[in-house]
Amino acid sequence: MSKNIVIIGTGYVGLVTGACFAKVGNTITFVDIDKEKIDMINKGVVPFYEPGLDNLLSSYRGKINATVDYKVIKDNDITFVCVGTPSKDDGSIDLIHVKQAVENIGGILKEINRWHHVVIKSTVLPGTTEKILLPILEKKSGKNATMDFGLSMNPEFLREGTAVYDFLNADRIVIGANDERSADELVNLYKSFSLKIFKTSITTAEMIKYASNAFLATKISFVNEIGNMCKKLGIDAYEVADGMGLDKRIGRAFLDSGIGWGGSCFPKDLDALISWAKMIGEEHRIISSVVEVNKRQPLKMIDLLKKHVPNLNGKTIGVLGLAFKPNTDDIRGSRAVPVVNQLLKEKAVVKAFDPKAMENFKKMFLQIKYCSSAEEALDSDAVLVLTKWEEFKKLDFTGKIVIDGRRLLEAKKTARIYEGVCW
């Protein structure tokens, strides 16, 4: 049966979740404090770049609304909390948005006389939903969880750039609930997608999210460490990964070596996990090393560059790609940040191009030149490939020195000098 759903937070997780639920017949109301974003969504415009999302929003516009007013919760059955949980300066998780959202929801629950279901989708550390968010909801509403309202935890595993595909084709849906009514309601809601469902407790669901992200980041840092050895030995880390990946216990996914991981999730989630482990007095050696390897990995690009251009002072370096990965305009945690910082430190002249992320990068780096095409960035003393955008494959690198951080093998065919970071 279709439901009336409120989605709090219109980042890529909230919008994709809402749009996909609308696709299977539910009615969606997005709530965000950002009026500008709300106006855009009401016009069918996606406030950021996420492939397929604009199509979905416009196709199901009749089922979608957006507002800044939490009161809409009154007329709905389920509220998903999809607001961000960024890092504080010390790496610990900042719950300010999630707490605010839950306080507002609690205030509305006080005014309604029927059961309403609150689902936490924001990434929060194990124990947060039960120990911090539930008490806020109960205090603000004057009601009891389970009896008067449902509460569950439903982590997301959406990759930016393929978030719509990932939602519709997820490997699993994790449903963390401590009461049957909440669990059953979420199981029914997800039924239309025919995906594998894993039911567990709220705290376990929270941990599954962190453990999954930490493990994926570990795979990448591990393969980068192996990749650095491969480079020294003159062997190809991708061939090694292919050979390893055939072992079902290992799997080939997330064994692409390069300049490391970035994004809106891995960096903040690993920092939060480390900070939390410290707080509860637990060891975090592996996770800390994973982060450490990732900090050093992008600077391998500079070492390789200096093999061919020993003094960067006054040299023009073309940077291809600024987004943390292709198909997104997101530069959070992008490996381009430490690379560009180091180039500037060594007094190089940086000419950068990215098909989507230049506006965001400008907010951090005003002092570099932004090119109007990839070809323009190629007109440099050396070129660094930092993001594997499809369109870079068609470039002509004839006569160029190319340092490749993302395995754009097409560049190897034409470059005068080609260095892959781990191959």
Interface ranges with ligand UDX (CB under 6 A): 156-160, 213, 216, 220, 254-256, 258, 260-266, 324-325
> Can you read off the two tokens belonging to residue 141?
């509403």
Q: Which residue, 137 or 158, has its beta carbon nearer to ligand UDX?
A: 158
Segment holding 207, helix H or strand E = helix 202-233
Token look-up 């960067």 returns 312
Residue 90's identity, in one-letter code, is D
Which residue type occupies 388?
K
Nearer to ligand UDX by C-beta: 147 or 211?
A: 211
178/327 with CB nearer ligand UDX = 327
Q: Which of 160, 133, 116 is nearest to 15 (CA)?
A: 160
* C-alpha–C-alpha distance, residues 123 and 408, integer Å: 33
Report in angstroms how near the CB of residue 43 gets to ligand UDX at its nearest: 26
How far lies 365's CA from each of 167, 331, 340, 358, in Å? 34, 12, 9, 10
Confirm if 85 and 123 have CB atoms less than 8 A apart. yes
SS3 27: strand
**Length reported for the chain:** 423
Q: Which residue has the tokens 């610990």?
A: 92
Q: How far is the CB of 12 from ligand UDX (least distance, A)?
A: 8
CB 373 within 8 A of CB 334: no
CA distances from 364 to 313, 331, 405 (A): 22, 10, 21
Least distance in angstroms from the C-beta of 399 to ligand UDX: 28
- Give least dist CB 18 to ligand UDX, A: 16
Q: Given the complex with ligand UDX, which of 48 and 254 has the nearer CB atom? A: 254
Which is nearest to 221 in space by CA: 251, 260, 250, 256?
260
Active-site entry in 82, 230, 265, 371: 265
In the bound complex, what is the minimum distance in angstroms from residue 49's beta carbon to ligand UDX? 13
CB of 402 to ligand UDX, least distance (A): 18
Please report which residue ranges of 234-265 form alpha helices under DSSP H. Answer: 237-245
Residue 82 annotated to the active site: no
The number of beta carbons lying within 10 Å of the beta carbon of residue 312 is 22
Question: Reduced to 3 states, what is the DSSP secondary structure of residue 87?
Answer: strand
Output the smallest distance, CB 210 to ligand UDX, in A.
Answer: 11
Q: How many CB atoms lie within 10 A of CB 406?
A: 23
Strand, helix or coil for residue 120? strand
- Beta carbon nearer to ligand UDX, 130 or 330: 330
Strands 149-153 and 173-177: antiparallel
Choice between 15 and 265, CB closer to ligand UDX: 265
* Closer by beta carbon to ligand UDX, 258 or else 338: 258
**Which tokens in the block code for residue 138?**
């109960």
E runs forming strands in 71-181: 78-81, 116-120, 149-153, 173-177
CB of 13 to ligand UDX, least distance (A): 8
**Rounded to the nearest 10 degrees, what angle do helices 266-279 and 285-296 cross at?**
140
Residue 158 vs 293, nearer CB to ligand UDX:
158
Residues labelled catalytic: 265
